Amino acid sequence: MVDFRFEVKARDAAGRIGKLTINGKTIETPAIMPVINPKQLIVTPKELREMGFGMIITNSYIIYKTPELRKKALEEGIHKLLDYDGIIEVDSGSFQLMRYGGVDVTNREIVEFQHNIGVDVGTFLDIPTPPDAPREKAEEDLRITLERAKEAEEIKEIAMNAAVQGSTYPDLRTYAAKKLSEMNFEIHPIGAVVPLMESYRYRDLVDVVIASKVGLRPDRPVHLFGAGHPMIFAMAVAMGVDLFDSASYALYAKDDRYMTPEGTKRLDELEYFPCSCPVCSRYTPQELREMPKEERTRLLALHNLWVIKEELNRVKQAIKEGELWRLVDERARSHPKLYAAYKRLLEYREYLEKNEPVTKASAFFKVSEEALRWPIVERAKERAERVRAKFPETINHPIFGDVPKYLSLSYPFAQSEGEEDFTVEKPEKGEARKYVMAVAEYQFGEGAGEAFKDAFVELSRKTGMPRQIKAKGRHLATFRAEDGLLTLGIEGARRLHEVLPFPRMRVIVDEDAEPFAKRGKNVFAKFVVDADRDIRPYDEVLVVNRNDELLATGQTLLNGEELKIFQQGLAVKVRRGVEK
């Protein structure tokens, strides 16, 4: 039995913070695996562990082909060989296959060897087809890759990667992703993309990643093979990448290259270090240049690792704050090719929208013209237009144009900043109910406003804004101060359940979860049997049983498709059950 768990903890854009546990060892994603060359250590695995890198990657083919390493790995295991107690992933020799045209090992041999040396995550010997290869070659390589995947699936006893191949043909990438998703694997790397990144073909990289993500199961982590420069982390995570690996920290150091989040500089160009890591705080560029080559290389590698770690932390913080798109926008301006990729990514509207949260912890900032194409903006405009059919009175918003007046207190309209100020006006006397009904239509869909047509809305004494929503002495919902959307009480959920046809806004759970949901306990993904496919992350949802009997209401972390597929982690943070 493979010990492997992956669950989502927070999200923004198509990015997510996840908890990945393999063989009892846990890391938080997005994460990077520094590449370890077992024959040449610039920074030791033990030092990487002390720096906070809980997962590394090395090459099982190099160990297999080096007699002394092979002997020690078989006798003591790979963790003792590398003196590292974190998660160890291995490549199979596919990179050597792409670079040099051949390897002296079979697929079965390398998979069995990985198991015998005790790796945490293995990789079968897939065929990485380089960009722009003839389609016939890409198809033939993919055929062999899928055959080898089947062989690996039958014999594997460890968690294993299944790399998505297909060169620069999006349809082949999607096909490969779908086929591999049907098999029993744990992680899906997107392979053969290093040549794209080396030649700054980031726009093509976007096409390859999205084509792969569209075909992959959403409950498995996605690893962008060979990606390790911090300038692409934000965009890659926004596309849905969870794991990275790279030897760039060491390769750049050997070449006297110094990483920054915006690009790479040569050491001889620097008069000052724009960084406060332990290396840059202690030395000047001049002092580093005067050092012996080996010492200088090691210190530059350490700096590069600190920059990588810092940028990933910045990305995760952006996800927590709902600011990932803003970070993507900022990083995209560091290089014209990255900017082109950013604009290309925004063309994938359907994929991005279904993964985009309905509300965020921070306001929407119009930082560029591209910001008006972010999925949260386009969704807001589409939903507002639908609401406008029932509530035609509008106000002019400096960012969103004419929007229904009764949505003017809600996210993202009220919680936005542009070049011109937008003044949020308090509801006029007697109009508070219209705000609630309009927000219900906006948040839950057409017809939802009917659930609140007789509501009494209490206004905050301090701000004059809607707060508690009641009817006949019963609490229906709360008009949230932070985003102007509704949090349902159980009576409000009952009313919404009556007016919305099945399966709208519903998460359907099995019999085992039913008594717990009724008592207000959270719903976990393994108990979900179906869900409305139009549910989006952080939506307020109705939890029901197979007979469509209301059990609870709460906020989901997953979208409708994910709710049906995930088997691990939290699905709905239940706010209230029918019995509590």
Residues noted as catalytic: 91
Cβ-Cβ contacts under 8 Å for 165 (sequence gap 6 or more): 126, 127, 128, 129, 138, 141, 142, 145, 172, 173, 176, 191, 192
Give the list of residues 6+ apart from residue 428 with CB closer than 8 angstroms, or none: none
- Do 430 and 422 meet the contact criterion of CB atoms below 8 Å apart? no
Query: What are the tokens at 568?
Result: 């691990």
Q: How many residues does the chain have?
A: 580
**CA 90/CA 71 separation, integer angstroms:** 17
Between strands 570-577 and 523-524, the pairing is antiparallel
Q: Which H or E run includes 156? A: none
Q: How far apart are CA 526 and CA 196, in angstroms?
A: 38
DSSP letter at 330 equals H
* Phi, psi at 228, each rounded to 5°: -145, 5
**Token digits of residue 324:** 């990932």
Say if residue 230 is preceded by a cis peptide, omega within 30 of 0: no
**Partners of 15 in the beta sheet?**
12
Radius of gyration of the chain (CA): 26
Name the one residue in this structure whose structure tokens are 């009817």: 471
Q: How far apart are CA 272 and CA 275, in angstroms?
A: 9
Distance CA(578)–CA(557), nearest Å, equals 21
Q: What share of the chain is helix, strand, coil (3-state, %, to 5)?
A: 40, 20, 35
Give burial (CB, 10 Å; 0-12/13-18/19+) of 94.
Answer: buried
Q: Which residue from 312, 334, 104, 347 is spatially nearest to 224, judged by alpha carbons?
A: 312
For residue 401, the cross-strand partners are 397
**What token pair was written down for 157?**
């006893």
Identity of the amino acid at 316: K
Q: Is 305 helix (H, G, I), strand (E, B) or coil?
A: helix
Taking the C-alpha atoms of residue 186 and residue 236, their distance in angstroms, rounded to an integer, is 20
C-alpha torsion 369→374→377→382, nearest 10: 110
Taking the C-alpha atoms of residue 468 and residue 409, their distance in angstroms, rounded to an integer, is 15
Angle at the Cα of 502 (from 500 to 508), degrees rounded to 5? 120
